[in-house]
Amino acid sequence: MPKSGFDGPLERLNDYCWRIPRSYKPGMRVDGLIYASDELMSLLRNDQAPEQVANVATLPGIQMASLAMPDIHWGYGFTIGGVCATDPDEGGVISPGGVGYDINCGVRLMRTNLSYRDVKGSLQHLVDQLFKEVPTGTGKRGKYSFSPSELRQLMGEGVPYLKSRGLATDADIEFTEARGCLQGAEPDSVSERAIERGASQCGTLGSGNHFLEVQIVEAILDEEAAQVMGLSKDQVCVMIHSGSRGLGYQVCDDALRLLRGVPQKYGIQLPDQQLACAPVLSPEGQHYLGAMRAAANYAWCNRQLLMWQAREVFETVFRTSWKKLGMSLLYDVAHNIAKFEEHTVADVSKKVWVHRKGATRAFPPGNREIPDLYRGIGQPVLIPGDMGRASWVLVGQQGSMEQTFGTTCHGAGRLMSRTKAVEHARGRRVDKELAARGVIARAQSWRGLAEEQPAAYKDVNLVVDVVDRAGISRKVARMKPIGVIKG
């Protein structure tokens, strides 16, 4: 674990942004910028995550600044909430630490035409059935299995492959970021060990901070955007948070092992070996990108199958088809990924590799990457909070393209390590505490709930306030949890 506290300079630029100047440490090529309010910054001063922001600023080819969102906390190499863009034409690198172990961990939100009044009497039964039918927990096998050749096809094609098997619709594809498939995936670059781990885990929730949550729309802050999204007060929605499971973890682990001596090979000096990287245009960089894209496609399929199972449970509990229940996908966003995107840097338009590690794409109105339905309001942004408070729906704003390479926060951000959270929960029944807040929670163990208790996280409302005030993404609706299943 890192030492406690950050002793370096943090210069206030405005009410929501702070700078670590390039002069702070040798090797920094750009400044570090951290988006945070005074309250969030007071918490961050006790964390070494700002040091990681400065370290990322040393990467070859980095553009504009090393960035961190207000949910920033310590991670592997890059901070969670870290963003950087590198230009391959300037020797820019790709770093697995800037994507993370859970490649394309992300969030999707599904609407229903049910209101809280419709589900209140059946809520406990609904949550129990979701917990029974949707596989949760470490290493849990799912109801879907794929042969090695099928899995390679799934990793190459993403969610469209599931449509060919009757497990996705055209609308599911349309409202998934990148239409559920990163082009250029190379399943043959994924190791046999990763394929073994992924064969029976597609359609499983996993453990840690992953969840499937029944929510209600608690408040609407942007009526126009909410109407376009099909959201209304007291409406029941389902939010799913999961990623690429053991397959993605193994892809990252394999890459870090292969890249161990690569920086030295290309004359790259790093302040932290966890920033292991390779020039984007090198054979090593291209190998990782092919495998990373394949794992990202697997993750989109995982969330698609989780949603499909949730639809089946709702059908059983409410005795009608999911289509009649209005269970359509609002959107799906990735928040652990690297993507090749066009951005303007110092008034020059160029294509760069944007690393988003615990950060969400937030493209503004008019961007051609946004589905037609949302192009007038901006890309939907889904920000999960803790189990006891709230989650948020936002839309991307023009400020994201000007300041953060089209990026915003991804969640609340941890305040406590999992070990500290368990210590904090000793002698307590977190499930009963949540029930007192009106949230029915199911998990595989007491420890699972203890690690993810609300007190372990920052207040997501404070985090969202920052990105809203910064003009990066705008608040649309606050979602209240009423039922949650976890590993």
* Residue of 330, 318, 414 whose CA lies nearest to 377: 330
Domain boundaries, the chain: 11-92+104-486
Q: In whole angstroms, what is the distance from residue 413 CA to residue 395 CA? A: 20
- pLDDT recorded at residue 139: 72
Could you tell me if 138 and 207 are in contact, meaning their C-beta atoms sit under 8 angstroms apart? yes
What is Dmax (Cα atoms) for the chain? Answer: 64
The CA distances from residue 213 to 151, 217, 276, 480, in Å, are 28, 13, 36, 10
- Buried-exposed string 207-244: b where 16+ CB fall within 10 A, e elsewhere: bbbbbbbbbbbbebebeebbebbebeeebbbbbbbbbb
Q: Which amino acid is at 63?
A: Q
In whole angstroms, what separates CA 127 from the centre of its chain?
24
> Is 410 labeled as catalytic in the residue annotation?
yes
At residue 170, φ and ψ (nearest 5 deg) are: -60, -40
Q: In whole angstroms, what is the distance from residue 247 CA to residue 144 CA? A: 15
Instruction: Please report which helix (H) or strand (E) contains residue 479, including its range.
Output: strand 473-486
Beta strands in 285-427 (DSSP E): 329-334, 336-345, 348-357, 360-361, 380-383, 391-396, 407-408
Q: 210, 287, 410, 424: which one is catalytic?
A: 410
Q: In whole angstroms, what is the distance from residue 166 CA to residue 96 CA? A: 33
* Tokens encoding 338: 């690297």
* Intervals of the chain under pLDDT 70: 1-4
- pLDDT recorded at residue 46: 83
Q: In whole angstroms, what is the distance from residue 385 CA to residue 478 CA? A: 10
Number of other residues whose CB lies within 10 A of the CB of residue 428 = 13
Q: What is the pLDDT of residues 28-62, one digit of tens each?
A: 999 999 999 999 999 888 889 999 999 999 999 99
Q: In whole angstroms, what is the distance from residue 317 CA to residue 63 CA? A: 51
Assigned superfamily of 11-92+104-486: tRNA-splicing ligase RtcB (3.90.1860.10)
Query: Tokens 């929960």 map to which residue?
Result: 425
The CA distances from residue 52 to 13, 49, 382, in Å, are 20, 5, 25
